[in-house]
Amino acid sequence: MNIGTLVWRNSQGNLRIGTVTGKELDEKGWAHFTVDWHDDVLHRMATDRSDKLRNDGVDSYNRAYRVDELAVLDLSHLDYSTVGHIETLSSLKQRVH
């Protein structure tokens, strides 16, 4: 995984998709990445609500993620999955009419 890699993460039931913008190694050799999350409104709302309910003053927004907390998202897989979804919807609509 490198800077510029498209990644995903499931957090609080929300699918997060973003681009790696930074990489650092810690003293144990683990790679940590900063990510620019795209269309992340649902995650921010869930995190804000969780912080408000906990009321402990802790900022729950992670700024860096260890390599094992992220997964690479293959754009071709996402494209094929989207096409498959559209084809399935079309097939369902034809059965209803």
Give 26-39 pLDDT, tens digit per residue.
999 999 999 999 98
Q: Does the residue 57 lie in any domain? A: yes
Amino acid making up residue 71:
A
Q: Does the residue 1 lie in any domain? A: no
- Can you give the pTM of this predicted structure? 0.73
Range of 19-28, 41-50, 51-60 with top mean pLDDT: 19-28
Q: Does the residue 19 lie in any domain? A: yes
In angstroms, the CA 29 to CA 14 distance is 29
Q: Does the residue 11 lie in any domain? A: yes
Residue-number span of the structural domain to which 56 is assigned: 6-96
pLDDT tens for each residue of 64-82: 899 999 999 999 999 999 9
The total of structural domains in the chain comes to 1
Q: Does the residue 59 lie in any domain? A: yes
